[in-house]
Amino acid sequence: MATIKDVAAKAGVSVATVSNALNGKSNVGSTARRKVLDAAQALGYRPHRAAQAMRTGRTRAIGLVLPDLTNPFFSQLAQAVENKARRLGLLACLIDSQNAADAELEGLNLLTQHGVDGIIWCPVGARLPRLLGDLGRPIVLIDRPRPGFSAVHANNAMGGRLLAQHALQQGHVRIGLLSGPRTVESAQQRRHGFVSAFPERMEIAWEVRVGFDGILPREAREAMLRRRGATLIVAGNDLIAISAMRFLHEHGIEVPADVSIVGFDDISWARIVTPRLTTIAQPLGAMGTRAVELLQERICGTTAQNPSLILDVSLIERDSVKSI
């Protein structure tokens, strides 16, 4: 690997001049600048990031810590984040905590030790961000806001309202709820948006809390079998909805003929499964890129204290809801 010294030697100037020229400083003459640029080009010189990092304290790398890459919601997010980061010349360093709070902590430590400039984080542990506001670098939460932190997330409450509205339009008044985990803020907001947009004559036939990974506990399976007159199941996300559809299918209950179902997220599989899933679309790509932009601003210090971004959602009508 060619070093800055080699470039300096080849160009016949000092290393300082090379550094200044390459970094576009104004204190270098046009002829010297030319020579430096040519020499650097000829040698294929690339600055040594570790050396730069030591001097400047900037790594040009960011962390991305997610609960579960296997969940298409997060893999789409990750793809968007990585691409945007790369376009900004930033390296994206991945942590997949597999929904384990201690692994998450370990990952955050690894990232800080490597000196990443900032972290995009979808927290799994409920109390983690509180303890770790002091990672010493900007953090942007994604999908799961917490008071006191920058975040970019979808308007989950609005999604819930859209769903309630749609349910009503299609004539569903008795609802089964497969809500997401109580510890996850976005799940709470979806649920709250949904029930708060409830008119008098609608009611919840049953409700059970399930994880976002789509694994259905016995309680959930029993509730779906027992029915209690519910004509529409509102799932906490698409993964849950799709798992539920599979379970129902195995037990001879057809969607949407016997019961309707809606999801949340609009992961790519929502339009692939049978029947295609009616759901709320989150702008996953935009969430990822905006999160990177926000983080970058925070890193450069060109922004207010804790800016947040809330992105609109929309209802995607497909085949899993029958009007009655």
Residues 6+ apart with CB under 8 A from 243: 214, 215, 216
Is 134 or 200 the residue whose CB approaches a second copy more closely?
134
Measured CA to CA, the distance from residue 179 to residue 207 in angstroms comes to 7
What does 94 interact with, of DNA, a second copy, none (CB < 5 to 8 A by kind)?
A: a second copy
> Is residue 33 near DNA by the rule CB under 7 A?
yes
318 sits near a second copy (criterion: CB under 8 A): no
Considering beta carbons, is residue 92 or 178 the nearer one to a second copy? 92
- Residue 213 has which token pair? 């990974």
Residue 18 CB contacts under 8 Å (≥ 6 apart), including other chains: 4, 7, 8, 11, 36, 39, 40
Joined together, the tokens standing for residue 315 give: 């209802």
Under DSSP, is residue 310 helix (H, G, I), strand (E, B) or coil? strand
Strands of 155-263, DSSP E: 174-179, 203-209, 232-235, 260-262
- Tell me, what DSSP letter sits at residue 167? H
**Residue 95 C-beta: closest distance to DNA, Å:** 22
User: Helices 4-11 and 15-22 sit at what angle, rounded to 10 degrees?
Assistant: 100
The residue assigned the tokens 């207010």 is 304
User: How many alpha carbons lie under 13 Å from residue 196 in its C-beta half-sphere?
Assistant: 12
Interacting residue with a second copy among 14, 41, 70, 169 (CB under 8 A): 70
Binding part of the chain for a second copy, among 3-11, 110-118, 149-157, 301-309 by CB under 8 A, reads 110-118
When CB distances are held under 5 to 8 angstroms depending on the partner's kind, the choice from DNA, a second copy, none that residue 169 binds is none
> Interface with DNA includes 127 (CB under 7 A)?
no
Contacted entry of a second copy, DNA, none for residue 113, CB cut-off 5 to 8 Å set by kind: a second copy
**Using CA atoms, how far apart are residues 8 and 41, in angstroms rounded to an integer?**
12
Sign, Cα dihedral of 13, 18, 21, 26: negative
Partner touching 243 among a second copy, DNA, none, CB below 5 to 8 Å by kind = a second copy
Give the binding-site size for a second copy (rule: CB under 8 A). Answer: 53
- The single residue among 9, 37, 43, 47 that binds DNA, judged by CB under 7 A, is 47
Identity of the residue, 65 or 151, whose beta carbon is nearer to a second copy in the bound complex:
65
Interaction between residue 115 and DNA (CB under 7 A): no
* Tokens encoding 77: 């997010």
For DNA, which is the closer residue by CB, 58 or 146? 58
Q: Is 16 in the site for DNA (CB under 7 A)?
A: yes
Looking only at Cα atoms, what is the longest distance across the chain?
Answer: 84
Query: Among 9, 22, 168, 208, which residue interacts with DNA (rule: CB under 7 A)?
Result: 22
Q: Choose between 113 and 305: whose C-beta lies nearer to DNA.
A: 113
Cα dihedral sign for 124, 130, 132, 134?
Answer: positive
Distance between CA 140 and CA 61 in Å, rounded? Answer: 14
Nearest approach in angstroms of CB 49 to DNA is 8
Q: Which CB sits closer to a second copy, 72 or 283?
A: 72
Q: Which of residues 111-140 bind a second copy (CB under 8 A)?
A: 111-115, 136
Contact mark string toward a second copy, 266..305, x via CB under 8 A: --xx--xxx-------------------------------
| Alpha carbon distance 250, 126 (integer Å) | 35
The Cβ-side half-sphere exposure at 210, using a 13 Å CA radius, reads 29
16 binds, among a second copy, DNA, none (CB under 5 to 8 A by kind): DNA
- Using CB under 7 A, list all residues that contact DNA: 1, 3-5, 12-20, 22-23, 26-29, 31-33, 45-48, 51-52, 54-56
